[in-house]
Structure 1
Amino acid sequence: MIKTKKDLKNYIYLDRKANFISNRSLKDLINLYLFNDIAFFLLLLRKCEYYKNKSNIISKIIYFYYKIKFKKKSMKLGFTIPENVFGPGLSIPHYGTIVVNSNAKVGANCRIHVCTNIGASGGSSMAPIIGDNVYIGPGAKIYGNVVIGNNNAIAANAAVNKSFEQEGVLIGGVPSKIIGEIDIKKIIKHI
């Protein structure tokens, strides 16, 4: 959770690193945020988180401003990602539908693809808790009161409705099961 300016800078830096965005010059960053919608979305997400977590009235006004911009960008890209769910190093490689429940918690260095749903199940408010360094393939559905351990990969179109707390496994299928072992550093290159 982003609470200080230092946290905000760190999250932004790690998100850029996860998306292979360099910090070469001011001109490069201006071009990036004007022409790279996902990079701008991630910046708005982190600014919303920072100002939402502050308690003074000025921060709440600034939060409202960023929230409007964030909502517009979310609708354009097809992302429904609430604040304070993802840890630093979030990577979204493509535009497309991503829906995440506000009660979900996802650790650092998550790489999430299109047509993914992370949500509650059966009217319950319990949502998934996903560890650090997790790859979520296109079309994956993760729902219910489940825990996914660190350094795991969820295959494309998997339906995950039970916990997998082991590390270094590939989870896939409908219903989901462990398909094999995996070295997550081969998939998530920036860690």
Structure 2
Amino acid sequence: MALAGALSAGREWWLISNWTELKAYIRADLASMGVRAGLKTWFLDPVARLIILMRCNEYLLNTGKPRLLRLPVLFWFRRLSVRLGFSLGPNIFGPGVAIVHHGLLVIDPTTRIGRNCRIHMGAHIGGAAQFCEPGEEHKFSPRIGDNVYIGPGAKIYGPVRIGDNCTIGANAVVTRSFPEAGLTLAGVPAKIIAQGGTGERVLKGASIS
């Protein structure tokens, strides 16, 4: 099943469920960011460090590890999130996410975004948060496909669906669905201004089967 179809059905099949997947996700994320794994990246790149902590927290949560084991990672992740200006929950992104800069970034925790998302500072993606029944989040929150570029200051609100290989321009405000693949969206409210996909705007650290 294509990712866009899985998302629209509320299926969240990309959750990290074992150690091998954790390592694969981190490799894909760093590749999409264009950085190399290693101590230099860990100490000098706080955004890369945050993403690694995010994936570790997801792994510990999804695999039901003891709370005492998860709490130090969660504390470190949240402390660094506040310092960088990020508000992120677990299991939002598929593999290959690239957060380009630190700065204000707010994403509703019930949002689901596919592989190889490249997202810039100032983006705000809002949805249902805790105001819906468990299992009903896909009816109220954004669902975004693979290889999507989200420009600086873009806003995406409500139960919208964005197709694969789309570009959302800087400061665009998306309040309705654009499920077709390969669209470029811009404006307030957002509308289609071009077709043709994200091209070189997205580094695809996670291969698409």
Q: Considering the TM-score relative to the shorter chain, is it more than 0.5? A: yes
Q: Is 2:25 the partner of 1:11?
A: yes
Picking from 45, 48, 72, the partner of 1:39 is 48
Name 2:10's counterpart in structure 1: none
Q: Is 2:101 the partner of 1:94?
A: yes
Picking from 192, 195, 198, the partner of 1:178 is 192
1:124 Cα shift?
Answer: 6.1
Name 2:115's counterpart in structure 1: 108
Task: Describe the SS at the equivalent of 1:180.
Answer: strand
Measure, in 1, the Cα distance between the counterparts of 2:122 and 2:151: 9
Measure, in 2, the Cα distance between the counterparts of 1:124 and 1:181: 35
**Residues 54 and 124 (structure 1 numbering): CA distance in 2 closer, same or farther, change over 3 Å?**
closer
Measure, in 2, the Cα distance between the counterparts of 1:124 and 1:146: 17
List 4+ stretches of structure 1 deviating above 2 A: none
Aligned identity (percent) is 37
Q: Write out per-residue CA displacement over residues 72-126 of structure 1, whole angstroms, 9 at most, x where no aligned residue.
A: 10001001111111111010111110000011000010000011001127x9651
Tell me how many residue pairs correspond in the alignment.
183
Name 2:7's counterpart in structure 1: none
Name 2:12's counterpart in structure 1: none
- Letter of the aligned partner of 1:49 in structure 2? E
Q: What pairs with 1:72-151 in structure 2 (closer than 5 Å)? A: 72-120=79-127, 125=132, 126-151=140-165
Consecutive unaligned residues of structure 2, counting only runs of 5 or more, are: 1-14, 133-139
- Letter of the aligned partner of 2:46 in structure 1? D
Task: Describe the SS at the equivalent of 1:68.
Answer: helix
Measure, in 2, the Cα distance between the counterparts of 1:50 and 1:98: 22
Consecutive unaligned residues of structure 1, counting only runs of 5 or more, are: 24-28
TM-score, normalised on structure 1?
0.91
Measure, in 2, the Cα distance between the counterparts of 1:102 and 1:33: 25
- Letter of the aligned partner of 1:150 in structure 2? D
Q: Write out per-residue CA displacement over residues 121-168 of structure 1, whole angstroms, 9 at most, x where no aligned residue.
A: 7x9651100001000000000000100000000000000000000111
Q: What pairs with 1:18-29 in structure 2 (closer than 5 Å)? A: 18-23=32-37, 29=38
Q: Is 2:62 the partner of 1:48?
A: no
Higher relative contact order (CA 8 A, sep 6+): 2
Measure, in 2, the Cα distance between the counterparts of 1:22 and 1:104: 28
Measure, in 1, the Cα distance between the counterparts of 2:65 and 2:58: 14
Name 2:136's counterpart in structure 1: none
Q: What pairs with 1:156-175 in structure 2 (closer than 5 Å)? A: 156-175=170-189
Measure, in 1, the Cα distance between the counterparts of 2:203 and 2:121: 19
The answer to whether the 8 Å contact 2:185/2:193 transfers is yes
1:183 Cα shift?
Answer: 3.2
Q: Write out per-residue CA displacement over residues 16-72 of structure 1, whole angstroms, 9 at most, x where no aligned residue.
A: 10011124xxxxx11211111011000000000000112242xx2221110000011
Measure, in 2, the Cα distance between the counterparts of 1:95 and 1:55: 30
